[in-house]
A = this chain, B = another copy of it.
Amino acid sequence: MPVQDRNISPATIKVLRPRLPAAASLLPYLERIDSSRTYSNYGPLNGEFARRLGELVGGSHVTLTSNGTTAIELALRLRCQQGGHCLMPAFTFIASAHAVCNAGLTPYLLETDPNSLALTPEIAAAALNAVPGPVAAVLVVSAFGAPPDFAAWAAFEQQHGIPVVFDAAAALTSLSGIGRQPVCVSLHATKTLGIGEGGAIFCADRELMERATAMTGFGFVGQERQSSLRAGNYRISEYSAAVGLAGLDGLPKRIQEMRELTAAYARRLEGKAVHLQRGVGTDWVTMTLNVIVPAADVAATTQRLDDAKVEWRRWWGLGCHRHSAFKDVPMSNLSVTDTLAPCVVGLPFHDDLSPDDLDRVADCLQ
């Protein structure tokens, strides 16, 4: 390692550098597409990709979708009528709110638990009487890929009779025990398994998932070219499935590397006031690794990161209510979110980071 010349400032450390399967690893799948001359419409690679994704999450029916946002839209459309309110956390990526609106529902924004960074059944139940109209659904969001509490939300649905859908956009590799409540994931380039643009819905309810798949292709059920459901086009191409299959081939190695990188961060953060999410790097992995910084030190921390030329990002911004397109939707008091959101700071996380880079990031965190 050359001695750093003090007159040359170090290169910026990027917050994210996605790496999807290289062309060479796509080639065998692309050659299968050339042979089949099927390029979309639930072709053979789509079928194989869906099957392998179902196995990855421990056995589930699967519907592939054009992206994670449309996965949520379809799942909500399947589970409730248009026109009501959908409870959802204010602290989530803004795609969640767009999906709720595109499903014909009005978001009602709620607080999140500051420990799990997630909406809880208790928060949702406490809000039911405050919502100005019927509650059609709850959209539960996985915090940056953390496994959702399926059992607690199944109990909530049973108790209150309100359908639950999971926005588990970043949680594909954290899922197990999927039940009859649809679980939506993203396969965007920034996720653990990225295909460029894509998504999936998982659910144990076979009949519901057959309708979900029909809704991705104009409501045609089976081989019929008869629209029997209001729907649209939310399919992925065989090319997208090819990227997914190559990605699955390399996924175990990739997850291991993500665990190791997270552990390398965790060692450097020991004894500091900042902390990572519970279980990250051991129980589950994420490409959007965050530190939760004490509120009093947020401004100084982000200043130190900027000064050290370390890119950082608030992946979910300051909450949906801070986006002008959603500032007028109904919401609960969001003082917890307003305090919490600035403290959640995304750190550089990719396979170009050297030990020196990690030291440089960690030195900014107290």
Contact = CB atoms under 8 A, between A and B. Distances in A.
A237 interface: yes
A23 B102 CA distance: 36
Interface in A341-355: none
A262 interface: no
A85 interface: no
Given A95-B233, A231-B325, A39 B225 contact: no
Interface string A288-326: 000000000000000000000000000001000001111
12 contacts: A41-B189, A66-B233, A67-B235, A94-B218, A195-B237, A196-B236, A197-B236, A198-B237, A225-B317, A237-B240, A239-B239, A240-B240
Interface stretch (A55-63, A68-76, A146-154, A269-277): A68-76
Interface of A: 17-20, 22-23, 26-27, 30-31, 33-34, 37-41, 66-70, 73, 94-95, 97-99, 101-102, 188-189, 194-198, 218-219, 225-240, 243, 317, 323-326
Contact of A218 (B98, B228, B237): B98
A325 B219 contact: yes
A227 B98 contact: yes
B232 A99 contact: yes
Nearest to A99: B232
Given A226-B323, A227-B326, A98 B232 contact: yes
Contacts of A189: 38-41, 237
B39 A33 contact: no
Contacts of A30: 23, 26
